[in-house]
């Protein structure tokens, strides 16, 4: 072997061998236990960054480790290729989004291959390929027929910069999740997926995902937001209809003194009397321009306007004025709130501002509240008052009894409400999957017949960056014949939200060449569910929730029998440099290509895995990178220096080893045990690498390396180091494995196992304390009894001076660790 470690030569050699030999190609094999390992696929933005390096290195460690453990590992890669950045780049560069996207894919694929990632590239998927999105269109039609895809007019989140709609989950602190522009409200006709039909199951199954971080599950539970209460009808004065309200506080119903509607409520303008209409319209327009997040903030000023209309409290017959209020949202509950100012702080502030009536209906024990003396709403449990037949009972008990009463009288009913809203999937952009719908003046909404799929995204469109999607202006695409009546019709020109593509890509990997459906059922049911999914926590209530929903839809459409897409989830931390997340705008980006050119891919991988546990943020350190590179050089030199000595060594004979040899073998097998547990059970890659580094240090300090009887244990130690490091730094270990005379691959050899007898210490080092202070350490036989250990501690020459002239009150022994002698 060559004396010097030259990463570029080693890595180019092994990457070529892996690719030409299709080393990581996999097929279904029911004689083996399967393991589906997946990292969230990237958007082909043009270049990978250190966050990608870390994420994919974490996944690759697990994939390689599981192969060495005998699993049939599926580890694919693809591209989340539709989306606004490609369209924006096309406008800026006067090119086509497809050209920009495919060029980026080619470049990024090359970057990933240079990292030595063990992907089965034959399963590569790009969501912008028609062979992918045509199946998505078929699923859309099936969902449409089942009522799971529908169109309605609604107020939507609109990003003026991206010129498109955003789902609720894509609005972060009132801003677009992509470009940080302030989001406004706009009324549009939109296509929706009825994710609310699965709200109960999505919530229920959060308790069946023990392999997910509790933080992510909590975020999903909060986003789904199930609350139980009552729907109550408040008759409208002068109308035959009523206002329907959802409340979790039916115990306060007798204290409802006015009604608050969301300005977007369908009745808002209808209820405005002629003399109030102008003021109502002005208020609605003002609220429409107000950020939704701000509207629900506790410190946001509560404002409203009286409509001029009234409704009736169904249990008190009180005449209740109807207001529009800026803090009421249209998509929570029914968009109407029965206002109980004495027992809800927002209602209290609103009532004080507009001098509206108040009625106390819950009193704290031993205290008498009155509206005149209250400085804030009373929201705790108490005793019912001014509540008819329910006076005198505890409010917690009254909740159930009032709910029963409402149902008995036909005034309301018990129900559950969800914070979750249906998923708006319409996007007014070009670079996405066309929605397979046609509009005909005679036939109405007409789904594209399945025989006419796919609806191809036209390539001959112009990008100006103005006026929304170019599809709306592309007459050759828009104008079409109605498949039902043959008359002139028009296509839907919105495209699907790109989160639709990422909601099922993991299924396409199971059979990427399937031409009879989205995926082959038999193959999907072999590989699914994904055993380990890896990605950022920022996707907790977008991608991860949508993927769970889509999996359940595909199950119910008969495509497979899988309930959940991902068994285990690891959310990796960010890469931090100079105190903040790496980003071009902050000027703290480290270019992976430059890092690999200087140090090699194995060093980049090793540092990203050693510097922090996977779930924690990684602080970038140039010194840490240098240290990782020096360690790999030490491993190379260790093999180079000893290769002739261990070349012909046979298997280890434990009884024939010197004392130094036995000690080394004990360290080797303890290290194998620790590294195995750290990788397999805990994903503590950093401590696993640290244990390997300690073993390398032990080998450099091994004093028995020249004794012929120790050649076998030295060979075992070096082989074990290479095998344990192989998932982390695959190139250099493959080269050194070959140099030490092994004809097969490390995956074929398998992960090393430890000898239980070898890890048993023959001697123990016991700490000796006197009155809790360290005084000495003594060595005893591993099988020494308690009395023997205590006697050795008291007889130690460093301990005796601290015992002279004193009475030994007690001797405390912690088995295998310490003796504490208490004297007085």
- Does the pLDDT at position 101 exceed 70? yes
554 phi/psi in degrees, rounded to 5: -65, -35
Could you tell me the two tokens for 179? 């470009």
Give me Rg for the CA atoms of the chain. 34
Residue 334 to residues 232, 284, 411, 506, 610, Cα–Cα distance (Å): 10, 17, 16, 36, 52
CA-closest candidate to residue 732, choices 824, 601, 589: 601
Query: In Å, how far are 34, 65, 609 from 725, measured between CA atoms?
Result: 23, 10, 12
pLDDT (0 to 100) of residue 510: 98
Give 233-291 pLDDT, tens digit per residue. Answer: 999 999 989 999 999 999 999 999 999 999 999 999 999 999 999 999 999 999 987 87
pLDDT at residue 515, rounded to an integer: 96
How far is residue 166's CA from residue 190's CA, in Å, rounded to a whole number? 11
Q: Is the pLDDT of residue 112 over 70?
A: yes
Distance, in Å, from the CA atom of 1 to the CA atom of 12, rounded to the nearest integer, reads: 16
SS3 labels along 423-453? EECEECCCCCCECCEEEECCCEEEECCHHHC
Q: Give the mean model confidence (pLDDT) for residues 574-594.
A: 86
Q: Which residues contact 411 (CB under 8 A, 6 or more apart)?
A: 232, 233, 314, 315, 405
Helices 84-93 & 97-114 angle (0-180, nearest 10): 110
Residue 105 CA to residue 45 CA, distance in Å, equals 8
The pLDDT, as a whole number, for residue 599 is 98
Token digits of residue 459: 């390539």
pLDDT band (50, 70, 90) for residue 466: low
* pLDDT above 90: residue 187: no
Indicate the pLDDT class of residue 204, thresholds 50, 70 and 90: very high
Q: Quick one: pLDDT band at residue 162, thresholds 50, 70, 90?
A: confident
DSSP H or E stretch at residue 659:
helix 659-677
* Residue that is written with structure tokens 């809203």 in the block: 421
Q: How many residues does the chain have?
A: 824
Is 80 exceeded by the pLDDT of residue 748? Answer: yes
Terminal Cα-to-Cα distance of the chain (whole angstroms): 66
pLDDT of residue 154: 79
Mean pLDDT of 38-65: 95
CA dist., res. 424 & res. 191, Å (int) = 6
Mean pLDDT of 597-604: 98
Under the banding of pLDDT at 50, 70 and 90, the label for residue 465 is low
Strands (E), 292-388: 304-312, 319-325, 336-339, 362-363, 383-384
Which residues, 6 or more positions from 180, have their beta carbon under 8 angstroms from its beta carbon?
none
Q: Which helix (H) or strand (E) holds 594?
A: helix 592-599
**Considering only CA atoms, which of 594, 608, 503, 485 is closest in space to residue 554?**
503
- Could you give the 3-state DSSP secondary structure of residue 598? helix
State residue 807's pLDDT score.
Answer: 94
Average pLDDT of span 795-806: 93
pLDDT per residue as tens digits for the range 9-43: 999 999 999 999 999 999 999 999 999 999 999 99
pLDDT at position 467 is 59
CB 336 within 8 A of CB 259: yes
Q: How far apart are CA 338 and CA 354, in angstroms?
A: 16
Q: Which runs of E-coded beta strand occur in 482-536?
A: 488-491, 495-496, 530-535
Arithmetic mean of pLDDT over the chain = 93
Structural tokens at position 366: 């031993």
Helix/strand number for the chain, H first, E second: 26, 34
Q: 385: Cβ–Cβ under 8 A, 6 or more apart, which residues? A: 360, 361, 362, 363, 391
- Gap between the Cα atoms of 609 and 404, Å rounded: 59
Are 183 and 175 in contact, with CB atoms under 8 Å apart?
A: yes
Beta bridge partners of 74: 36
Q: What is the mean pLDDT of residues 50-64?
A: 96
Element (H, E) at 198: none
Query: Which alpha helices (H) appear in 181-289, and where do they start and end?
Result: 199-204, 214-224, 277-288
Q: pLDDT digits over 539-569, tens only?
A: 888 999 999 999 999 999 999 999 999 999 9
Reduced to 3 states (helix: H, G, I; strand: E, B; else coil), residue 196 is helix
> At residue 534, does pLDDT exceed 70?
yes
What pLDDT is stored for residue 621 in this prediction?
Answer: 93
How large is the average pLDDT for residues 649-674?
90
Q: Are 137 and 453 spatial neighbours (Cβ–Cβ below 8 Å)?
A: yes
Cα–Cα dist 396/389, whole Å = 15
Determine the pLDDT at residue 158.
84
Cis bond leading into 529, ω under 30°?
yes
Alpha carbons 187 and 347: distance in angstroms, whole number: 28
Six-digit token string for 630: 């020096």
Contact 501, 132 (CB under 8 A): yes
Neighbours of 817 (CB within 10 A): 10
Q: Is a pLDDT exceeding 80 seen at residue 704?
A: no
Average pLDDT over residues 42-58: 93
List % helix, strand, coil for the chain (3-state, nearest 5): 40, 20, 40
pTM, two decimals, is 0.87
> 193-222 burial, b for 16+ CB within 10 Å, e for fewer?
bbbbbbbeebbebbeebeebbeebbebbee
Percentage of the chain lying above the pLDDT 70 cut:
99
Unique residue bearing structure tokens 């994904």: 530
């Amino acid at each position: 072997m060559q004396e010097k470690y030259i990463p570029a030569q080693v890595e180019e050699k092994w990457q070529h061998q892996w690719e030409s030999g299709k080393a990581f190609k996999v097929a279904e094999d029911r004689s083996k236990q399967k393991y589906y390992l997946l990292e969230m696929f990237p958007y082909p933005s043009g270049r990978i960054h250190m966050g990608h390096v870390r994420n994919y290195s974490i996944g690759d460690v697990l994939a390689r480790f599981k192969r060495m453990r005998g699993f049939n590992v599926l580890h694919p890669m693809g591209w989340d290729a539709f989306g606004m950045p490609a369209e924006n780049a096309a406008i800026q560069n006067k090119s086509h989004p497809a050209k920009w996207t495919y060029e980026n894919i080619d470049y990024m694929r090359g970057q990933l291959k240079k990292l030595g990632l063990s992907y089965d590239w034959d399963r590569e998927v790009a969501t912008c390929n028609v062979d992918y999105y045509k199946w998505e269109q078929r699923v859309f039609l099936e969902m449409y027929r089942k009522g799971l895809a529908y169109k309605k007019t609604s107020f939507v989140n609109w990003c003026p910069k991206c010129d498109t709609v955003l789902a609720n989950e894509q609005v972060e602190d009132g801003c677009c999740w992509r470009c940080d522009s302030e989001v406004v409200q706009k009324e549009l006709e939109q296509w929706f997926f009825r994710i609310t039909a699965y709200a109960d199951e999505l919530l229920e199954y959060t308790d069946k995902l023990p392999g997910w971080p509790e933080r992510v599950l909590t975020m999903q539970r909060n986003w789904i937001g199930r609350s139980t209460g009552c729907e109550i009808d408040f008759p409208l004065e002068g109308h035959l209809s009523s206002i329907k309200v959802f409340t979790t506080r039916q115990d306060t119903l007798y204290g409802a003194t006015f009604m608050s509607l969301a300005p977007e409520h369908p009745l808002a303008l209808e209820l405005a009397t002629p003399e109030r209409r102008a003021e109502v319209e002005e208020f609605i327009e003002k609220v429409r321009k107000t950020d939704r997040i701000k509207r629900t903030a506790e410190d946001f000023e509560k404002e409203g306007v009286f409509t001029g209309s009234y409704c009736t409290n169904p249990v008190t017959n009180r005449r209740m004025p109807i207001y529009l209020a800026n803090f009421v949202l249209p998509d929570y509950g029914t968009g109407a709130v029965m206002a109980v100012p004495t027992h809800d702080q927002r209602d209290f502030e609103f009532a004080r501002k507009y001098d509206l009536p108040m009625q106390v209906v819950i009193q704290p024990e031993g205290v008498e509240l009155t509206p005149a003396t209250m400085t804030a709403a009373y929201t705790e449990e108490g005793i019912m008052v001014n509540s008819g037949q329910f006076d005198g009972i505890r409010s917690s008990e009254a909740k159930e009894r009032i709910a029963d009463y409402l149902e008995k009288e036909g005034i309301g009913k018990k129900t559950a409400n969800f914070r979750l809203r249906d998923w708006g999937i319409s996007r007014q952009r070009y670079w996405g999957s066309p929605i397979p719908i046609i509009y005909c003046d005679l036939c109405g909404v007409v789904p594209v017949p399945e025989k006419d799929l796919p609806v191809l995204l036209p390539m001959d469109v112009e990008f100006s960056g103005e006026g929304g999607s170019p599809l709306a202006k592309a007459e050759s695409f828009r104008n079409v014949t109605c498949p039902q009546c043959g008359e002139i019709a028009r296509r839907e020109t919105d495209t699907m939200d790109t989160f639709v593509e990422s909601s099922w890509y993991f299924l396409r990997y199971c059979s990427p060449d399937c031409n009879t459906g989205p995926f082959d059922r038999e193959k999907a049911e072999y590989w699914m569910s994904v055993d380990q999914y890896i990605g950022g926590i920022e996707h907790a209530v977008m991608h991860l929730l949508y993927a769970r929903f889509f999996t359940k839809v595909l199950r119910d459409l008969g495509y497979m029998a899988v309930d959940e897409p991902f068994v285990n989830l690891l959310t990796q931390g960010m890469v931090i440099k100079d105190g903040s997340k790496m980003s071009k705008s902050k000027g703290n980006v480290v270019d992976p290509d430059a890092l690999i050119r200087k140090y090699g891919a194995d060093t980049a991988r090793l540092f990203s895995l050693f510097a922090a546990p996977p779930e924690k943020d990684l602080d970038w350190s140039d010194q840490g990178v240098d240290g990782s590179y020096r360690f790999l050089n030490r491993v190379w030199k260790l093999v180079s220096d000893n290769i002739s000595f261990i070349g012909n060594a046979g298997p280890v004979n434990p009884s024939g080893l010197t004392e130094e040899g036995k000690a080394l073998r004990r360290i080797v097998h303890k290290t194998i045990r620790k590294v195995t547990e750290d990788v397999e059970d805990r994903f503590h890659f950093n401590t696993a690498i640290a244990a390997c580094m300690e073993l390398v240090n032990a080998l450099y300090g091994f004093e028995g390396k020249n004794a012929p009887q120790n050649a076998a244990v030295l060979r075992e130690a070096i082989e074990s180091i290479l095998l344990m490091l192989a998932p982390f730094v695959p190139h250099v270990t493959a080269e050194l494995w070959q140099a030490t005379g092994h004809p097969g691959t490390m995956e074929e050899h398998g992960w090393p196992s430890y000898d239980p007898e070898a890890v048993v210490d023959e001697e123990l080092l016991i700490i000796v304390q006197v009155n809790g202070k360290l005084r000495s350490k003594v060595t005893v036989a591993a099988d020494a009894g308690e009395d023997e250990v205590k006697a050795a501690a008291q007889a130690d020459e460093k301990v005796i001076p601290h015992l002279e002239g004193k009475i030994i009150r007690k001797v405390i022994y912690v088995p295998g660790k310490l003796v504490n002698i208490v004297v007085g």
